[in-house]
Structure 1
Amino acid sequence: MPRETTPESCRIQARFAALREQGRAGLVTYMMAGDPDPASAQAILDGLPTAGADIIELGMPFSDPMADGPTIQVAAQRALKQGQTLKGTLEMLSRFREKDTETPVVLMGYYNPIHSHGVERFAADAAAAGADGAIIVDLPPEEAPELTGPFNAHGLHLIMLTAPTTDAARLPAVLAHAGGFLYYVSITGITGTRSADEAQVAEAVERLRRQTDLPIAVGFGIRTPEQAAATARAADAVVVGSALVDRIAKGDDPLGFVAALAEGVRAARR
């Protein structure tokens, strides 16, 4: 079952409550820990809240990111070549928490590094570093109890994914373990390849709202402030990953891009 929260472990709920009061959707930004190098990645992470990110997904580099497109695959390779490890990613988060105790941070990655680290140890170390939960993209609902027990014990959310292919028979199995918010993957396939139709996203979000009280974040294929604004008209939060990672790879101004995305999201319901 999803974990119960306490006042000490509810950054995600507090953020979505604040967004509701403001009458707007949130911006969730994804970056890969250690990319393009540890120092630059730390600076980007530390700057995301001021630039306009409401929630941060921090990627845990893995050598076989099967659900990700070329942009994030290459980012993981760059980070691994720079010596980024799971331990280093948690240390990066700890340094962020020295400056920011309010912005929710969700670790995102694959189960293999967690299994190698040890599930109980990962939950304890992630919570100590200041994580609010994790998205494990290759963990099916049937295997979720391997994490929910340790996560619940350490006040972490397991953020579950749902997709256009998740039918009415499958959705309850996903929701049974979901906490924090529900991540709707708006397209089939890998990250960063194409964009979803606005009307289809709105229809999907409405369908999900009938089944859960969790906030719904929509991601995959959102690359511009205009697309972010369109998604923000339906969703509780908009997730942008590959487009931001692209700018980091090119040496463009990633925080300026986040600011433009944030303005698009904030303007969507004015």
Structure 2
Amino acid sequence: MKTGFAAAPDGTRIAYQIEGEGPALLLLAGQANNHHWWDGVREDFQADRTTVSFDYRGTGESDKPDVPYSIDLFAQDALAVLDALGIESADVYGTSMGGRTAQVLAAKNPRRVRRLVLGCTSPGGPQAIERGNDVRRALAQADRAAAARVLDELMYTPEWLAVYPGPHQTTGDPAMPDFARGRHLVASSRHDAWDLLPRIEAETLVVHGTEDRFNPTENAQLIAGRIPRAGIELIEGARHAYFEEFRALAGPAVIRFLTSQP
């Protein structure tokens, strides 16, 4: 894997990683996570694509400024990485908060996004279907070990957890400062791309697990209904980390979409 740094417009250093061969595929991770989010599945794409990832500001090897973060800012960081690598146009695959970032990136920079995959994500704002209050309370409980178990169970099925008890790369960057974790939470919660989604020109695949309570599955239909050229792939029985646990289904579906003829 090749690594380097891009300079965001505000001077923040953004660490990036490149691996594989072929046209560029930009991978955007979930909230409070770095590029290791993709460790379990990244190799699936590398026969057909040069995978490009980066550590969000506040995570991994990127700078961690204690200033307000936003999804728009994360999208600008993604553009800075593409610019640093001389990539004019890339396929983009964003999951969870990465899907929110991908929405903004594609809507505001249509010439930079060839095809778009939005996984387990939400349009945000008042039109989105929010997780239930029971889920919110369970994640916010004072017993942090219990809250961590709840998060695992929202990401993966009991059958998966029985074989792979963790720790999991998808449940947060363990070295992330608390202030940055809070900045990520605020950025994600303030996302509202409802009015932006119709501006997405890229052909789009919306992927979601049918048993996702962390980000309810109904959001997939909402997003696909707002993007002019969008289709849906629902992964039966999958929870939030569908791309890892149901890799044998999700990976090929994404590859078929990215490599199919227009």
TM-score range, shorter chain: 0.3 to 0.5
* TM-score using structure 1 length: 0.37
Return the structure number with greater strand share: 2
Bigger helix fraction: 1
Q: Scaled by the length of structure 2, what TM-score is found? A: 0.38
Q: Could you say which structure has the greater relative contact order, defined with CA pairs below 8 angstroms and 6 or more residues apart?
A: 1
